[in-house]
Amino acid sequence: MQISEINNHVLLFLLASIGLIALPHITHIPAPLFAFFTLLLGWRLLAVWKKTWLPGRVGLFLITLTGILLIVSQHQGILGRDAGTSLFITALGLKLLETKKQRDIYLAIYLAFIVAATQFLYFQNIFMAAYIIAVSCVLLGTLICINSRTPKTFASLKAAAVIVLQAMPMMMVIFILFPRVESPRWMMFDEQHAASSGLSDSMEPGSISRLGMSPELVFRVKFSGAVPPPNQRYWRGPVLTFTDGKRWTQSGNLFYGKFLDRPKFFGAPYRYTLMMEPQANDWVFALDMPADFSMPLRRNANYQLLTRDRFDQRAEYKITSYPSYNTGYITKTEYRENLQLPGRPSEKIRELVARLHGYDQAPEKYIQNLLRHFHQDGFFYTLFPPLMGDKPIEDFLFKYRAGFCGHYAAAFVYLMRSAGIPARVVNGYQGGVYNALGNFLEIRQANAHAWAEVWLQKRGWVRVDPTAAIAPERVEQDVDIARQLATGEVSFTSTGANYGVLAGWLKQGKFLWNSVDYSWQHWVLNYNSTRQSQFLSALGIDNVSDMVYWLVAFTGLLTALLAWVILRARTQPVDQAQRVYKRFCRKLAKAALPRNAGEGPVDFARRTSTAKPALADRISAITTLYIKIRYGRSANDADLRELRKQVKALRV
């Protein structure tokens, strides 16, 4: 079929569908490539009415060459997520320009389905899933429209929606029972799916305060029992040991971990499931201190949890932590590293340590004196501290006395080491907003925090948070991220804060949505091979063969039920109409006008009307009603009742 024979309505339907499919990719692929696709789509739209504007072979070759050069220049190849997506979108735009047969329209639609699927490489939330289902209905409606004698947009979309809804139960069965196959690392090429921001493996003045303005989600935690109070919500990350006076970094000598004491835990534990968002590092931020965990998690010498699994994908881990613990003795390597300083402390530092009795009193007393110094001697907590000089510790302690958590933690550890007490900086997150509707905590980048650990005799490593001395609300209340973003100032909100009616509704609505999103992440996106095995084992399905049997059984059952519903809905009125029509034929047969074998209703009506002119009108009415009920789309129960009435009134 030539393009001139294809209904313009169908072409417009197709172009609108493809435009909807490609629209979300405007933020995913380079602007020149998306502009190139938009140009091709607009060109084809104009050619619906100006068919001579379509390019010839030479023009199409040059346009294709331009597209290839754009892809290569923007991506340096065609491998990877972004380059592959750009390739499909460009190919789709080029295919539109050479659409000259109905077969080309089918190919363009199938290619559009692939482009729709690539959206899930970027976003996998509920909104994107709903959007893809909607545009898939539009594409399916385009196929229905192509194969209709009288293309109608609304009718085609309605039919497509019905087909998609009918396919939903089968989709769910396949999703649950079909064996899950995890993609290997090499299939991801060099694409980075991890978070673009977050904690790093080092700390400099102001590095953590920059995260205070980020609402990006880091992880969620769902507890199986009690939820820890805000002042115990310390989520342990990288431990920083070495410093040059300005920058703090991790130790490279963690081999001594096998010589460490196993921590002794006390009190009631917290058991929880931690759902990590994609990360740039293999860190898992467990509640301090993690005690029980399983593969693929491991614990390094600094008691930080790491994953052996892919950290650039969302993952869930079951962990048990204790807020009270004793890490035991300290190794010689650990002792030496956690007293390291870039040089001899300055005279001002030594005088401060002496004044706070760091040299002549027990470490516990010195810690109390230092925390009291932060609390009483004019220090304050700020999200935007002044720029420190070449000696940031001294500038913070003696000049500005203003800083974020990183400044307080670094200064505290430096002063501890100056007094000969092993200490180190711990980066991680503190707090988290509790969602009562979903019973989970949400921890975002704005919850990034730094605190200190001091090694004390008979107690091991002890957490000390100097920020709590100057701003206790930081660890006792939630960070008000929305207000912090709006005002640029440190802001907190207590759990029992009094909101206005509208603000309260908005907050509850946000909690409801976050709860739904958590369930979506937990049951759909994280339904990997491990979770599938656990879920099916609970149902008594323990191996692949059983899985296949159940899959075939459920698929067959759903197919039979769906076929019964569809065929019953269509055949029931037809069977009744046939019975009424046979009664009509028997009446005419009694008048010596039997219906011949293979004779259609129209031919039979024409012959009997000629033989019985007086009955022609009634025969015509009965035949028209019968054809409408049996072959038409707009038949209803009223038509069937009218058919019965007409046949009953027939007298021959």
pLDDT given for residue 492 in this prediction: 63
- Using pLDDT thresholds of 50, 70 and 90, give the confidence band for residue 233: very high
Q: Report pLDDT digits (tens) over 4-29.
A: 456 677 788 888 888 888 898 888 88
Name the residue among 233, 637, 207 with its Cα closest to residue 432: 233
Pairs from 294-299 (Cβ < 8 Å, separation ≥ 24)? 294/318, 299/257
pLDDT given for residue 411 in this prediction: 94
Mean pLDDT of 447-462: 93
- As a whole number of angstroms, the distance between CA 72 and CA 76 comes to 5
User: What is the end-to-end Cα distance of the chain in Å, rounded?
Assistant: 51
pLDDT given for residue 412 in this prediction: 95
Which residues, in sequence order, are CB contacts of 51 under 8 Å at separation 6+?
A: 3, 4
Q: With 50 as the cut, is the pLDDT of residue 374 above it?
A: yes
Which residues, in sequence order, are CB contacts of 133 under 8 Å at separation 6+?
A: 164
- As a whole number of angstroms, the distance between CA 298 and CA 13 comes to 54
Other beta carbons within 10 angstroms of residue 621's beta carbon come to 16
pLDDT given for residue 503 in this prediction: 66
Q: Report pLDDT digits (tens) over 507-538.
A: 777 778 788 888 888 778 777 777 777 778 87
- As a whole number of angstroms, the distance between CA 234 and CA 461 comes to 15
pLDDT given for residue 483 in this prediction: 63
Mean pLDDT of 245-253: 87
The share of the chain scoring above pLDDT 70, in percent, equals: 88
Q: With 80 as the cut, is the pLDDT of residue 606 above it?
A: yes
SS3 category, 70: helix
Q: Report pLDDT digits (tens) over 196-221.
A: 457 888 888 777 777 767 888 899 99
pLDDT given for residue 333 in this prediction: 87
Q: With 70 as the cut, is the pLDDT of residue 465 above it?
A: yes
- As a whole number of angstroms, the distance between CA 447 and CA 209 comes to 10
Q: Which residue has the higher pLDDT, 81 or 190?
A: 81
Q: Flag whether the pTM goes above 0.75.
A: no
Q: With 90 as the cut, is the pLDDT of residue 496 above it?
A: no
Cα 519 to Cα 134, 216, 506, 512, 535: the distances in Å are 21, 19, 20, 11, 15
Q: Report pLDDT digits (tens) over 541-593.
A: 877 787 788 888 888 888 888 778 777 655 555 578 888 999 999 999 988 88
Give the bridge partners for 242, in sequence order: 249
Q: Report pLDDT digits (tens) over 390-415.
A: 889 999 999 988 888 889 999 999 99
Q: Which residue has the higher pLDDT, 145 or 132?
A: 132
Name the residue among 446, 431, 403, 445 with its Cα closest to residue 494: 431
pLDDT given for residue 428 in this prediction: 93
Cα 175 to Cα 461, 531, 549: the distances in Å are 47, 12, 15
Q: Which residue has the higher pLDDT, 149 or 577?
A: 577
Q: With 90 as the cut, is the pLDDT of residue 356 above it?
A: yes
Q: Which residue has the higher pLDDT, 350 or 569?
A: 350
- As a whole number of angstroms, the distance between CA 386 and CA 373 comes to 20
pLDDT given for residue 638 in this prediction: 85
- As a whole number of angstroms, the distance between CA 296 and CA 422 comes to 31
Following DSSP, what letter does each residue of 334-351 receive, concatenated? HHHHTT--SSSPPHHHHH
Mean pLDDT of 309-323: 89
Question: Which secondary-structure segment (H or E) carries 400?
Answer: none
Q: What is the Cα gyration radius of the chain? A: 36
CB contact at 8 A, 289 and 268 = no
The share of the chain scoring above pLDDT 90, in percent, equals: 28
Other beta carbons within 10 angstroms of residue 315's beta carbon come to 22
Every domain of the chain and the residues it spans: 3-177, 202-251+264-493, 546-649
Q: Report pLDDT digits (tens) over 101-120.
A: 778 888 888 899 998 888 88
Structure tokens at 460: 């091991």
Which residues, in sequence order, are CB contacts of 5 under 8 Å at separation 6+?
A: none
